[in-house]
Amino acid sequence: MDLQSFFGDTVQEAMASARRELGADAALVSSRKAGAEWRHLGEFEVVCTMSTSGTPVGRQTPPAPAAAPLEQTDQPQRASYLFHRLLELGLEASLAARIAAGARSRAMKQLTSRLDPPSTDDALIRSELKARVRTTAPLQWQSLLGQAIAMVGPSGSGKTTFAAKLAAQWLRGKPAPVRFVAADGVIPGSTGKLRLLSAVMHFPVEAAVSPPDLARLLTTPRQDELLIIDTPSLDAMGNEASQWIRLINKGIHLVILVLPAVLKPEDLQWMIGRYLAFQPASVCFTRLDETGRFGSSAGEALEAGLPFSYLSRGPRIPEDLEAATAESIIDAMFRSSRRTAESCR
Ligand SMILES: Nc1nc2c(ncn2[C@@H]2O[C@H](COP(=O)(O)OP(=O)(O)O)[C@@H](O)[C@H]2O)c(=O)[nH]1
Ligand SMILES: [Mg+2]
């Protein structure tokens, strides 16, 4: 039996919409108060079937189904497919339910308007994600001269490597006036790593081992230069954390939160909560090459309202860095989940 759901603020209204869609012989199978996630479509849901002949009555020419799924899958079941597909991508249940609801109302709109050909489940999810994923434009050093940008994030997340990749991409064409500030010098060895990179890439590096040190550098910015500040992790800031936070909030034009995509969702959520103190403008996810569940990381950033700026897919400088687009984020969510499914076979 081909079942379809219709919604309205009264059962009569929902039935009227079923008859418009299926014809005057639309038969009511069941009716109920709409579940919370479908309430935006109407107070009541009626489940109807087509006339026994299978041909919608009142329609002159049956529409040619462009793709099978929407026409053949009954709607409540479809909502469940969408929800489970989103869980498979790694999204946490409440976000998955909201995105599934949005994807399903897209399907309903397509069904009622018949302007667009019906979409597959993945295409509906992609459209719904695209409406939610925000990205920032790739950084251009030319528009940042005289300013300072900072990378913040937990230790080992890839801040120094990201900063070096960014500078190396800028330096590729012609020399870009970039000066590095290794403010993560509280961790032995990390300043050394940046110095090594600077020797290869020919950009100057200064060390700032305390908030007053960094404050001094920030009060005298050169108008023909861009400062990239590589900061310590919150834990390494220790008792000086509030001083670092104040200084970074006040003196730095743009802050990027660098997070590894390999963390468990609950750890990532906790981490994002802590680093929001720095008021990051965007998030750069690293280690995409090492995760089979990018959806769970992307979901946490979506929930925190953070736009995506860059994706890092490996340690190579600068090849493994790309500017994020809504498409690349969504592709990465689908690709990494496929990788997990394949490795489980
Ligand atoms: N596989 C992989 N390794 C990365 C990536 N980004 C950085 N790394 C490596 O992660 C380690 C820590 O990076 P680092 O930039 O020092 O982290 P920081 O402590 O946040 O500055 C280094 O060995 C990097 O080469 C990435 O996207 N994928
Ligand atoms: Mg570092």
In the chain (345 residues long), the average pLDDT of successive 10-residue segments reads: 75 78 72 73 76 40 39 65 93 94 88 76 95 96 93 96 90 79 66 69 84 91 89 94 96 97 96 97 97 95 97 95 98 80 59
Verify that 288 and 153 share a domain, yes or no. yes
The boundaries of the domain holding residue 201 are 141-344
Verify that 276 and 218 share a domain, yes or no. yes
The finding on whether 155 has its CB within 6 A of some atom of ligand 1 is yes
- Torsional class of 32: left (φ above 0), alpha (ψ -120 to 50), beta (otherwise): beta
Q: How many domains does the chain have?
A: 3
- Cα dihedral sign, 73-78-82-85: negative
Atom of ligand 1 nearest to the CA of 154: 20
Verify that 184 and 266 share a domain, yes or no. yes
Verify that 297 and 166 share a domain, yes or no. yes
Domain termination site, one of 45, 62, 79:
62
- Coil, strand or helix at 335: helix
Residues with CB in 5 Å of ion ligand 2: 159-160, 184, 190
Q: What are phi and psi of 331, to 5 degrees?
A: -60, -45
138 C-beta neighbours (distance < 10 Å), count: 13
The finding on whether 158 has its CB within 6 A of some atom of ligand 1 is yes
* Run of H or E residues at 17: helix 11-22
Verify that 35 and 157 share a domain, yes or no. no
Give, for ligand 1, the residue of 151, 152, 161 to mutate: max count of ligand atoms closer than 8 Å to Cβ: 161
User: How much is the pLDDT for 240?
Assistant: 94
Verify that 322 and 269 share a domain, yes or no. yes
User: How much is the pLDDT for 188?
Assistant: 47
User: How much is the pLDDT for 30?
Assistant: 64
Verify that 187 and 115 share a domain, yes or no. no
Domain termination site, one of 98, 115, 132:
132
Verify that 217 and 275 share a domain, yes or no. yes
Verify that 146 and 230 share a domain, yes or no. yes
The DSSP annotation for 99-141 comes to HHHHHHHHHHHHHHH--SPPPPHHHHHHHHHHHH--B-PPP-G
In whole angstroms, what is the distance from residue 268 CA to residue 287 CA? Answer: 14
- Coil, strand or helix at 118: coil
Verify that 50 and 103 share a domain, yes or no. no
Question: With contact defined as beta carbons under 8 Å apart, do 153 and 275 qualify?
Answer: yes
Tell me, what CATH number does 186's domain have? 3.40.50.300
Strand partners, 323: 310
Verify that 56 and 111 share a domain, yes or no. no
